[in-house]
Chains A and B, each alone.
Chain A
Amino acid sequence: QAVLTQPSSLSASPGASASLTCTLRSGINVGSYKIYWYQQKPGSPPQYLLSYKSDSNKQQDSGVPSRFSGSKDASANAGILLISGLQSEDEADYYCMIWHSTAYVFGTGTRVTVL
């Protein structure tokens, strides 16, 4: 079982909200981790969006629109990237990441399609 599991794909309409989940493997408590989120468009390197550990410990990269936000769902043991007001330019792959044990671990990635 992967350390971080993400849905492989998500489709939504322009203007809608998209909630991307990053589920931590059983036994790894989401509350203990800062979760980083990246956006990657075809042919380009990933770009850092934001990180979220708690409401008092979060950071948004400069230039990232405020319609991108992070949170956690403790009951689901998952980190969440919320994209509000989806735009065509948001079509991309999204990856979560944590520092776990002695290594950085990336999630499996979610491809977001804006219909």
Chain B
Amino acid sequence: EVQLVESGGGLVQPGGSLRLSCAASGFTFSSFWMHWVRQAPGKGLVWVSRIYSDGSSTSYADSVKGRFTISRDNAKNTLYLQMYSLRAEDTAVYYCTRALELGGDWGQGTLVTVSS
């Protein structure tokens, strides 16, 4: 069974940083694209970033480009999202997803709140 467990969310001040993690199990992690998708409270889904199976290629939404960095450790079956210069509008539940291009499996999400 595919399991994706996000962690690292919390309350951070504007301009601060946070690193999210996603522990994966139940599949061959190193074989799949991985993605982050976020959802602000009461709002819709927004794709944030993706990373190729071996980490050699990454893409970002314009809204986070230059501020967020996606990475992965295939030896630890873990996906990361390093977030810098956080803004109030980054407040959201952040979901880790596997292979969105195939439909995807989703974690339960971790809430990031940016507020002073």
Q: A residues within 8 Å of B by Cβ?
A: 36, 38, 40, 44-48, 50-51, 59, 61, 95, 97, 99, 102-109
Contacts and interface: CB of A to CB of B under 8 A. Distances in A.
B103 A46 contact: no
How big is chain B's contact interface, by range?
20 to 34
Interface of B: 35, 37, 44-47, 50, 59, 61-62, 95, 100-101, 103-109
Given A102-B59, A103-B61, A104-B35, A46 B106 contact: yes
Interface of A is mostly: strand
A46 B100 CA distance: 11
Point out which of B45, B104, B108 has the most chain A C-beta atoms below 10 A from its C-beta.
Answer: B45
Nearest to B59: A102
B95 A95 contact: no
A59 B103 contact: yes
Contacts of A103: 47, 59, 61-62
A36 B47 contact: no
A99 B101 contact: yes
A59 B104 CA distance: 12
B46 A106 contact: yes
A109 B108 contact: no
Contacts of B100: 36, 97, 104
Contacts of A109: 44-45
Given A36-B100, A104-B35, 7 more contacts: A45-B107, A46-B45, A50-B103, A59-B103, A104-B47, A104-B100, A105-B47
Contact of A36 (B59, B95, B103): B103
**Cβ-closest 4 pairs across A and B:** A48-B103, A104-B47, A45-B106, A106-B45
A45 B47 contact: no
A84 to B, nearest CB: 21
A70 to B, nearest CB: 12
A49 B37 CA distance: 17
